[in-house]
Amino acid sequence: MTSDGELERFQRWLQSRLADAEKIESKADRHRIMTSLQSAIKECINFRQSLEAHLVVEDPFIMRESPVRAVTEGEVRSTVSADGHCSSCNAQMAADLEFCPLCGKFE
């Protein structure tokens, strides 16, 4: 990101170009260029103000030194029926499901 000094320097350069644009003889060209430069200066000012507002707002993310909850391998267990078949419809049970994929009975 550019520093505040660079933005101020850029804004001053645009303002000097604006002063030079007043000397353009063609009224249409002068108006077009001056309008363009004024818009650029306004956007530069808006950007500087948004950067200043960004510095005031705190970071919404919280960094923790240790995890909130310790994850252990022993917590995750597979629930497989003893014979691998549904007690209701006798369909083959999947090892990672707690319900029968055919009839929907919860085991």
- Report pLDDT digits (tens) over 8-21: 999 999 999 999 99
Calculate the average pLDDT of the chain.
81
- Largest Cα separation within the chain, whole Å, is 94
> Does 86 map to a domain?
no
The CA distance from 21 to 83, in Å, is 88
pLDDT in tens, 29-65: 999 999 999 999 999 999 999 888 888 887 777 777 7
> Does 41 map to a domain?
yes
> Does 37 map to a domain?
yes
pTM value > 0.85: no
Cβ atoms 80, 99 nearer than 8 A: no
Domain range for 15? 4-56
